[in-house]
Structure 1
Amino acid sequence: MKLTRLGACGATTLALVAACAGTVTPAGAASGSCTARYEPKTYPSGYVVDTVYYCDSWQKAPVYGRTLVTQHSWMYAGSNWYTCQRRDIGHQNPVTYNADGSANRNDWWLFTLADESVEGGPGYWGYLPATYVVQGDNWQPVPHVPDC
């Protein structure tokens, strides 16, 4: 899922990409990895993780519950943190598309606390599809983010 910067409509920042007319296209670097940061986060269960992984997302992305079937939240575009990722062969990510029309497909999901619920309130903990993350390739885990 090598994502390329959108050349049409002159977008130069992640925020501008979503405003472009036509098909929304990933605006990230063609390569790179997520950045680890010591930033403790507490899961709803009380478990604490000390390190999170910041990765870039190129547009507002859906966040799903534990079963990966129901979307309950949204994550805004930009640099966002994730605690881990998991693969679920039975639940493919929504397909996203690059500027050249090629598709991004995956079955890896990143665990995070979303920005906003679908009802407009605070977001919930859940899984974001890897197809919305700039780093990574089709059918591969996002580099440098540990398994859940």
Structure 2
Amino acid sequence: MITRLHTFEHGTLDYDPSVPCIIASHFGFATDEEFKNMLNLGLSLSIEKRKDHGKLGWLADTTQMDGNAMTEWAIAEWNPKMIAEGIRHVAFVASNDVFAAQQIRDYAALCSMDGKMKTASFQDIESAKAWLREVL
């Protein structure tokens, strides 16, 4: 059963224990500050939920997201914190927005360069969850 953990103006954070994963759903265009707040709260919630399972994935549903310019921040600031907590798998549900799709491609390319965070993109949430279950 999926549990809603927090609602933002431009997104939600949910928890699916069947994977287990945090689901970050993005809607429209979030300011840089909103985006950071959402990911940072998601990190805190991930740390808490990981204690229940010993493992946890991150699923970013970007189907309704408009792009932003926070890729470098996520790589430099957020990723190291997630990795330090043992959270190393991020699944994306692809966005139709060209800017958001490019942001996700940039993030995935930068992640693949250091090899510490594994990413994959999917067309639907169930495929993303299936991948996370497999790699976790």
After TM superposition, the score normalised by the length of structure 2 is 0.27
Of Structure 1 and Structure 2, which has the larger fraction of its residues in strand? 1
The structure with the larger Rg is 1
Of the two structures, which has the highest relative contact order with CA contacts closer than 8 Å and spacing of 6 or more? 1
